[in-house]
Amino acid sequence: MSHEWFESVAEAHRRAQRKLPPSVYGALVAGSEQGLTLRDNIDAYSEIGFVPHIADLPDERELSTTVMDQPLSLPVLISPTGVQAVHPEGELAVARAAASRGTAMGLSSFGSKPIEDVVDANPQTFFQTYWVGERSQIRDRIERAHQAGAKGLIVTLDWTFSSGRDWGSPTIPEHLDLKTMLRFAPEGLTHPRWLLEYLRAHTLPNLTTPNVDADPAAAPTFFGAYGQWMQTAQPTWDDIAWLREQWDGPFMVKGVMRIDDAERAADIGATAISVSNHGGNNVDGTPATLRALPGIVDAVGDRIEVLLDGGIRRGSDVVKALALGARAVMIGRAYLWGLAAAGQAGVENVLDILRNDIDSTLLGLRRRSVHELSPDDILVPPDFGQSIAARTSRLSDNAGS
């Protein structure tokens, strides 16, 4: 089936919803509890405005940047997400799409494709891990990523194992045995395009996690890996400092929403942080990442690369984040919807949409480069982010007194 171009991420979302079985789609859009943070991640962008110019606009605009020593053709990279059952090629299709558009791939340790194959598809791959297992297991896991050629390491810390959702949690099987397939058959039969893609690929959705263990042949199921993660003691900053010492290369701490945490990440020598609340899947009621960004940039932006993820749906969102000090953004649901809609071509479509929107927004703002963007280019309501900065600064000061 030929790929039909879509003109917005919203259209990719609509196509993904029509195509995917409800349980698969539900896993993509879920957030914690009431979904307050999930909604605020998106709504925050609508509170910031532009005042465009009408003359002396630049004929050409430069979108390229670097993140963790990797040159990128645009300030958007792929955020790591877990098992991608929306398309049989999963992370391989995403990696190829990112490579074709000149940007980096983030691969989750809970992903469904081996890191060796993903790096072959996109040499600019960052490997993501949670704090799962003993130190020796973690060391072996990241050593495998290093041997595979991963360009950087991302440690994700913004997750509290909250599974309560007001709209209900989707049913995700641990194994696709005959009994399970019969139970889910109605969903597949009523969404034949999704099912047909798997039949043509002579495979079923992969529910194992081949990157959690140093030996890919010993890959646990997603729930097996998740169970090990839940049973692992929560990391301390000393643990994260140790992990940073084990990785000889660029290192990102993902999940920062507070100034004091940003400062600790800088203190241990992290290359970058991502201002993130796990796409609304951490503590519900956490503010939008865009609200937390300005204060964190003011505090540590001269010491560490500051990225942002959460709620990016259009190129103008990217421009707003960059104007508030982000070096680049990471996208998650947006590319998964593109993947569901049309595989590799759909992910490329999403990246092209964002690129074109960034370019046209720069044109209107009379900026020749993404590196020229500043708070002067946007209209920010009073206390949009500064109130968060002030509060976390006070908490940090009180903790140290």
Q: Quote the pLDDT of residue 173.
A: 64
pLDDT number for residue 391: 46
Nearest to 272 by CA among 321, 316, 308: 308
Write the burial class of residue 5 (CB in 10 Å: 0-12 exposed, 13-18 middle, 19+ buried). Answer: exposed
The per-residue b/e assignment along 252-286, b for 16 or more CB within 10 angstroms, e otherwise, is bbbbbbbbbbbbbbbebebbbbbbbbbbbbbbbeb
Which amino acid, 354?
L
Beta-bridge partner residues of 148: none
191 assigned to active site: no
Pairing of strands 378-379, 49-50: antiparallel
- For the chain, the residue count is 401
For residue 182, the model assigns a pLDDT of: 59
Write out the E strands in 10-123: 49-50, 65-67, 70-72, 76-78, 105-108
| Residues facing residue 239 across a β-bridge | none
Rounded Cα distance between 4 and 100, Å, is 18
Taking the whole predicted model, whether its pTM rises above 0.85 is answered as: yes
145: CB partners within 8 A, 6+ apart: 115, 127, 129, 153, 211
Residue 400, pLDDT score: 45
pLDDT score at 71: 98
Distance (Å, rounded) from C-alpha 173 to C-alpha 148? Answer: 30
For the chain, the 3-state helix, strand and coil shares in percent, each to the nearest 5, are 50, 15, 40
Quick one: CA dihedral 323, 329, 332, 338, positive or negative? positive
Mean pLDDT per 10-residue run, the chain (401 residues)?
82 95 84 90 96 96 98 98 87 98 96 96 97 94 97 92 71 61 69 84 81 81 76 94 98 97 98 96 92 96 98 98 98 97 97 98 98 96 65 49 40
The SS3 call for residue 266 is: helix
Name the active-site residue from 13, 53, 87, 278.
278
CA distance 386 to 291: 8
Q: How many CB atoms lie within 10 A of CB 35?
A: 18
Q: Which fold has domain 9-400?
A: TIM Barrel (3.20.20)
Confidence at residue 388, expressed as pLDDT on a 0 to 100 scale: 47
Quote the pLDDT of residue 179.
63
Confidence (pLDDT) at 261: 97
